[in-house]
Amino acid sequence: RRQRRDQALRQLGVERVDGEAVLRLYALSGELLADGSPAAETSARERALVLAAAQGGSDVLRTVDLAKGDGFRLLASPARQDGQLAAIVVTGIELGQVSEPLAILSFILIVAVPVTGAALGVSGFLIARSALRPVSAITATAQRIAAGDLRQRMPAVESHDEVGDLA
């Protein structure tokens, strides 16, 4: 049946691609009713996934090697009709399409988080230092006056905030 469908698709100019995604409809018994998947074959582990979803009546998510040895992340979801369990829908994607973006994201996070943290730390330090520089000058002058050098004058501060008022 699959070969006839593949041949019909080729005649229409549509080429099936291995390993993109899985979309199948199963009977509760595990019998394949419809297959909208690319060339990915079924396997006994996929059928076991379907039977587990049918028995439990809830979604089952697993990594499964299909017939050609391709790893897929599959989700078997019970489909209900009038409140009764009617079939199992299996959807999935090839592991490479899941793990490659996750590896890239992990690398970005491993690099970006420390670099961003360091940049924020340095920026915060520089901003705090420049904001507190007039306070340090005022403190040093006040200490010299307290030590008895009454010729000292507070340094001129070019700000119109509390530090400028203090100076």
pLDDT digits (tens, 9 = 90+) for 109-119: 999 999 999 99
Alpha-carbon distance of 126 to 75, in angstroms, equals: 51
Alpha-carbon distance of 54 to 9, in angstroms, equals: 32
Q: How many residues does the chain have?
A: 167
Residue 53 pLDDT grade (very low, low, confident, very high; cuts 50, 70, 90): very high
Give which of 84, 29, 79 is closest to 59, Cα–Cα: 79
Alpha-carbon distance of 50 to 64, in angstroms, equals: 12
Is the confidence at residue 127, as pLDDT, over 60?
A: yes
**Average pLDDT, rounded, for the chain:** 81
* pLDDT tens readout for residues 9-23: 555 554 545 557 888
Answer with the residue of higher pLDDT: 27 or 163: 27
Beta strands in 82-122 (DSSP E): 84-94
- How many C-beta atoms lie closer than 10 Å to residue 43's C-beta? 18
| Radius of gyration of the chain from its Cα atoms, rounded to whole angstroms | 34
Q: What is the predicted pLDDT for the residue at 17?
A: 52
pTM above 0.75, yes or no: no
Alpha-carbon distance of 38 to 16, in angstroms, equals: 5
